[in-house]
Structure 1
Amino acid sequence: MGYTQCTSLMVACVITFVIHQVTSVIESEDVSYTINEEGPTDEFLGNILDQTSLRGQSFKFNYLSTEPTLFAVNLTTGALRTVGRIDREEVCRNGVRCTETFNIGVLRHSMIIMIIKVTITILDINDNAPRFVENKKTIEISESASTGSKYQLPSVSDPDSPLLSVKHYEMSFSDGKFELKADDRTDGVFELFLETKGSLDRERKSSYDLLVTVTDGGTPAKTGTMSVTVVVLDANDNTPRFDQERYTLSILENPSVGSVIIQVHASDDDEGRNREIVYAMKTHKDLFGINNKTGEVYVKGVVDYEQEHLYHVGVIATDQGMIPRSTDTIIVIEVKDLNDNSPEITINSLGAQGFAEILENAEQGTFVAHVKVEDKDSGVNGELSCTLTDNKFRLEQLFETNYQIVTSGHLDRERISEYSLAIRCVDRGTIPHETVKNVQVRLIDVNDNAPQFLQASYQANVVENNKVGDFVLQPNATDADAGQNAEILYNVSEKGQKMFAIDGTSGRITAKVVFDREENNEMQFYVIAVDRGSPAMSSSVLVVVTIQDLNDEIPLFTQNVYTFNVSENEPQNTEVGTVGATDADQFPFNEFLFSIVPDTNLLGLFSIDSRSGKITTKGMLDREVQGVFRLTVLASDYGSPIKSSRAGVVIYVTDQNDNTPVFNFPDTHNNTVHMSNRSPIGLTVAHVNAYDLDTGDNGRLTYRFSGGNDNALFTIDQNNGDVSVNVEFKDTTYELHEFTVIAQDHGFPQKLAEATLNIFVNKSIPYPLAKQSGSILSGQNFSIAISLACVSAIVIVILVVAIVLIRRQEREKMQQYNCRMEALRKLTGKATRDGKSEKDSRSSESVKRKSKKLPYEIDFTIEKEDEKKQYHSDSKVSGLPPYQFYP
């Protein structure tokens, strides 16, 4: 008997080990950690098992992918630590999120039982202050620079993440003359520009010391500073000024040659050569001279009263700038003498070729020309009266015989560019004498007209995928001014400079880039026309360029893979789901159709609406036949050639409770178990087993007795189907108990199956382990052994050896048992024919039972060798487990 127990224990151990190896499943779990950069070396992050279901256990580990560079896992303990100092700016340059991921395998007995995916997020700290490329910068700006002129400052960068990089900038001590402009580029570099906000005047202030400060987004914030010195360069923007508008003096006729008669003086507010002044005579150079440096006027020739008694000498003061500026004045020299002569009119226009030249925007009262009227007579005959015939000008008398012509109305060169003025002088003699003299006045153009475009705006159409240099359009502007003031240069506003080029002279606009309508279907910018006047005048016009579409975009699905669920047994045309796609082209190039690739829909169970993308069934689906379908859908446009894209569709057929449980044991051919009357309470004597093709709750089964167990002789485990003894059968000799067992699923509505189980209590069956409270081998072990064909063969051999040994020891007892069994079969009507049992029909509607002796029942009857061989042969043919032993 001891040998039999050892044999049974050995079999149980072998089966348990094999089952464990077969049923091992590799699991995977994710763990994550967060760490600040710049932490200490060998910093402990945690044990990778602490966030998994294996927490508290001891395993070995191994890397399943490339080892991490910044972290290390102790392959014995699972401790995760840093390898060295972590600088997030080196690991993830300009990155918003910085992570490192690797996989660790958990080992048990050299086998992987779990894969742990470790993700470590490195957080940024504000450890870098904004820094300028240069701490000091000097910028030279001409005082003639226009408002809005931009000057680039040294760039500033902050290697921290975007949230901690440069967020604010300001400038101090600008006096409102300058303003900062910024351009935050995506590469982490912060570009700053200095923009002029008002006109500069070197004569008032020649330099500015500015302080630029930038602040990052940290708490506390870090700052960077740069000092900027703006040097205002002088422009020749000041005209020399004489101390007096005109100089007057009187001299006696015939002064000595070389004698100085007057000294004029002019000053200039500019600096350097822009303020150095030289003097020159403009008129009467034969009679008078001037020292070009000192301004002293001296006599060069003979001054005779009889020839001239009043001189208007023009003097010019000119600075030495690159573009010289000059001013003039009149020295009125009266020569004292008496003489009778007829009246004469002399006009000094100060212009070239006898023309008086004035600016068209001259204010009223502006000097045009000097008029000298003389009459060598004396008394009343020498008295004169002069008039001027034009309401745009008037004649003002300076003193008796000297006049000046000044403006008296608004002038416009674009309307009248030249005037011919007639000066009429009459003496007061008895017989008056009249003299008329004309003076030509030419208006000098002032840049008072801005260029004007011929259209209020311009529009152009360009087909995408063009060539660089293709013509776009050519706006045209005109200027009513003359000369240089009417010469026009064209330019494109900053918004259009990246994409368009313009010929500065003609205004012809061409493409600088290849356009993509899907990125930008319309561009608006301004063309600026600037004349060459001083100061220059400009105007602008809006240009709208529309990019016309080509079929150059592929229809794109909104997802690479769509996952849908549809219930089995639904009728045809049941909606499964809808796929979607977009085409960035314009109509009609953005029209497309959906279809299913035929090779992925070989069974023809699905169809797709070509317009909406809705997928429906074309037949009834059965999850038990096929639970997953994988389709490929196509979106194709109408272009030539056709453009298309693909996406995957995974359709999961969800389960319905459409299958009834089916018993493996008991069934109509195998429904009887024999047990000893000495079996203790709690001993498992049978294992009821059924299966259900459905899944989830629809396939989860529970077991119960429906009939035959009114006295509660046995109990059944509702989950695993184990039938165990509930009372003692010591007083029972031979007794057959018939039960109806039910296997019921948890679906809706619930489905169930019934089967009949016979338990034969037999006194003649020994129970070697009667003192123990349970069976050494449970029915669960034997069910698993059924699936292990290779192990079953070993178990069969061991059990057969055990049976032979037991039979030899119990031979005499078995002979007595055979006699009793024969008597019992006669009483129950179950006669044995040729070693096989026949069917016993009962009146139950749902269950048919068989009393045929099951091939796995252990019968301790001593058999002949040929019967024994026949018995094992029947076991193999039936396909049932060779043994199911319940003592």
Structure 2
Amino acid sequence: MVFSIRGSREARRLLLSLLLLAAWEAGSGQVHYSVPEEAKHGTFVGRIAQDLGLELAELVPRLFRVASKGRADLLEVNLQNGILFVNARIDREELCGRSAECSLHLEVIVDRPLQVFHVEVEVKDINDNPPVFPMTVKTLRFPESRPLDSRFPLEGASDADIGVNALLSYKLSSSEFFFLDTQTNDELSQSLSLVLKKSLDREETAEVHLLLVATDGGKPELTGTVQMLIKILDVNDNEPSFDQSIYKVQLLENTANGTLVVKLNASDADEGSNGEIVYSLSNDVPSTTQIKFKIDPNSGEIRITGQLDYEEKKSYEIQVIASDKGNPSMSGHCKISVKLVDVNDNTPELLITSLALPIREDAPLGTVIALISVSDRDFGANGQVTCTLTPHIPFKLVSTFKNYYSLVLDSALDRESVSAYALMVTARDGGSPPLSASASVSVEVADVNDNAPAFAQPEYTVFVKENNAPGCHIFTVSARDADAQENALVSYSLVERRLGERAVSSYVSVHAESGKVYALQPLDHEELELLQFQVSARDAGFPPLGSNVTLQVFVLDENDNAPALLPPRAGGVGGALSELVPRSVGAGHVVAKVRAVDADSGYNAWLSYELQPAAGGARSPFRVGLYTGEVSTTRALDEADAPRQRLLVLVRDHGEPALTATATVLLSLVESGQALKASSRASAGVAGAEAALVDVNVYLIVAICAVSSLLVLTLLLYTALRCSAPPTEGACGPGKPTLVCSSAVGSWSYSQQRRQRVCSGEGPPKTDLMAFSPSLPPCPLSGDRDEQLNVGVDLSPKVSNFSYLSKISLIFLFRYTFTPLEAF
């Protein structure tokens, strides 16, 4: 900071100012500088970067900038050395008028991270304005009859400076008739009066020339002068006089036009025209004051004729002249001191800068979003402004300096809940009634990848008919991501795993964009009943997030396997079943049994047996059981029956369309003795069969007891679960359904099984359960068993859980009842 220092006294004064400045900065936490007005361009103000704790190398990268409300071009910062210097002429009087304090408030803003500093630069007054009188030549008239010590008020000079620089002293040139009387009033104002010290005689001295000099208290001193011409009049001995020399009046700044300010009442001891008084404003009154105040020349009433504004001017001094109508006229003077009282007539002003938008939803608490400055032209409580924020969640206002606020994040953001906030900042002053101003701030929340793709359910069950075309579409998975843009862009992939010796990817594939699942090859129910795998959904965010869903693909059976005849255990010739039949047997005697299996499942594997008509239309004495395959006699055999009977048995499944196989049964009719010999040879086999049958009956009885026990246990568990189940689902809620379909011969039912089975050759017996009931409706899907897995036992609300458990038991019993003996 450059000062012109003259003498040790000025050096001590400067040192004391710097010490006070340092103490003030330490107490306030803000940087404070001072600079004299009229300083030259480039004058050093302060090392602002060093005082703010900033490195010179980071000024440019962090976008160091200085903002000032009002005159932003007066000061500038050199970004190379961090020095604040004077950039343009600073006129304190133009900037602050006659205010005792004059400062430039600077906002220093840096980014990455955003920081705001407040710097106050005090503008020091220098004595650059000399005292100025209202006019350079003033003419006064004194009647010769004026008594000694008569006083004539004078208009003093004005100085645009403040403090000592505006403290004026007056000196009057030497005169034998007059001397200058100076009286100090409140607020450092002075009243000047020209006092008569020697009687006047117009015949001796007609005019007196005086020079009034005003000197201010600055260093160096500046002066102003006015020449006074005093004319001595020889008329009218008495002048009008007021009851007081100064009238003090207080007015509200919003006082309406026409309001009476004061009514003057001057008196004159003369009579006639010499005692008639006319009131007028002095020529010394500025034109700006004459516009706002008018005086009635006859009544002496002073009224308001212009708009008063406390922020424009706080007080007025009006010189009033009361002149009589004598010849020559005489006049008296008084001063009206009008002080304005501030009212709350200015609304606060809001300025929002440095918006850091949009704000990321993972922004930490305390992040500065915007800078807000407020101001009010009123004074006192009317100019004290407070700021409020609506709504206050999840943001808040933090006061950083007087009339400066920061909008900061106060709680966590979630773009998926609220993507944008419309905030209202309200500035309210302390007046009565208070005035307010509002500004809206729109805060947009930027998305971050904090939500993984989500499927509607954790797993899906899909039913696909076997022998499908390669590449057919079997299902579409879809996941939703609550994020936005690329964070919500979902791609799908197959989670690889092995099924036996083969990978899942050899069976199915997933389209990355659409989520469509394709079967890559025909599926075979007999080889693979259930294909279970996972599909992964992953978004395009960074880092990416993902989730998995399980697909259970049930391969539905089709009637693609014809019945297969089992080879005869004994007596077969060329694959045909050959048996000896005694002629003495009666009707209903079982003579042979045709055995067949079907690689399909359920209805497609339910076999029926039919006897083909004999050639020539002859009626055969034999018949075959529709579902057992047992060949038995329809009547007693006689001699007319051919000794050799050739029967063709048609084995048919119940698929759509039905597939068939033909078995040949060769029967030889023999006498009882031959049959006895044959039977003795086969006695061992028969005994073994009977023993096997006894064993089967034992097993059947054990199975029935086990199933009955299982039924009782199931009922107990069902009752316990019903008592403990939550009220929302209830004991009668839908369970895993079981397919029930009907046909001409009854109904058949499947229990859903999640298993993988590869059938080859004869294999173990099927585990599908089959039951019959004549009261069920027809199957809607033409016997495709696996497509009906989700149609429950409770097809009608009338079917209770108890009947469902009973049907399970009946199905189990029926399965073991209708299993061929050969399976045991």
TM-score (norm: length of structure 2): 0.37
TM-score (norm 1): 0.34
Q: Which has the higher strand share?
A: 1
More helix by share: 2
